[in-house]
Amino acid sequence: MSKIFTSVLAVLIAMQAHAQVATATFEDITVNGEESFWGDKTKDGQNTWTSGGYTFGTFYSGFGEGYYSNFVVSNNKLTDGTGYTKPYQSTASGAKSGNNYAVFYYELYYPAASNEVSLQEEATVSGFWVCNNTYAMYTVTNGNAPARIFGQGDYLKLTMTGFNAKGEITGSVDQMLVDCTEAGNWVCVKDWRWVDLTSLGKVKSVKFSMSCTDNNTANWMNTPAYFCMDDFGGTAPEKNTEYATFAPNSSTGINSVEADEFAPAVKKFENGKIVVYKNGKKYNVSGVEIK
């Protein structure tokens, strides 16, 4: 009897050790209307809400016409977002599963914005599905002043940093959203891709940050700092989604140009070639004689 009891106890302990917090599917958030989104703006500042066993932050600023940062919930299936008026769309035409997914905007201006997901107790987070945002992808592909078209060496990166109950960093995980660092192999996340967070160990919170190679003089991102998330704390797939090939808008290349067209632009030499930045777009100039 004692052996049976010991065996059962061992199984229960093992099950407890491998127990997971309920997945944040975002389906428990009501989004009023189709092709819309929900964000908590009950006050001008940091608000929190829950999905599954996780707490998310929404930071609402009433500045100007008002805007959201951190997390909002969207059910938008369109992909026509080319500006800041339509930022809540995924490049995968909607959610990974169900109808809803989260859209994150990285808040740098207001220090009160948490940029994090928190847990009630320390636990190991399996990971989540990530997808690019249509506004960000349109910008790196076509340019959108002051942001420029991406070229060789550019990237848009998402970083997850884990913190334990004492506030100590447990580790970090990077996920490239757009990666043009390898010549001849420019890639991006177009469909939902799994991000493994188990290497962070047991965490009380996961903080999100973003970085890119297109920044202004204050070192703030010109590239729109958005990404999409679904099924946070969900089940990892047997095989991950492949990256998609990234190709900037080829129609912006200049083969011939007059001097007056150069005048309002910024000219640079990169890797022995003339590069022109004009109206937020990057132009590669080849085989031309500047008059």
For the chain, what are the domain ranges?
20-245, 253-285
Low-confidence ranges of the chain (pLDDT < 70): 1-20, 250-291
What tens digit of pLDDT does each residue of 111-162 get? 999 999 999 999 999 999 999 999 999 999 999 999 999 999 999 999 999 9
CATH number, domain 20-245: 2.60.120.1350
Q: How far is CA 125 from CA 139, 141, 170, 288, in A?
A: 32, 33, 12, 54
Alpha-carbon span 28 to 140, nearest angstrom: 33
Q: Kindly calculate the radius of gyration of the chain based on its CA atoms and give it in whole angstroms.
A: 22
| Torsion on CA atoms 82, 85, 87, 90, rounded to nearest 10 | -60
Alpha-carbon span 181 to 195, nearest angstrom: 20
Beta strands in the chain (DSSP E): 37-38, 45-51, 54-61, 67-74, 101-105, 116-124, 127-131, 155-163, 169-179, 187-188, 193-196, 202-212, 226-230, 244-245, 266-270, 273-278, 281-285
Q: Are 88 and 76 in contact (CB under 8 A)?
A: yes
The pLDDT value recorded for residue 42 is 84
The pLDDT value recorded for residue 12 is 39
Alpha-carbon span 146 to 84, nearest angstrom: 13
Alpha-carbon span 156 to 160, nearest angstrom: 14
Alpha-carbon span 165 to 161, nearest angstrom: 13
Secondary structure letter of residue 10 according to DSSP: H
The pLDDT value recorded for residue 64 is 82
Tell if the pTM clears 0.85, that is, is over it. no
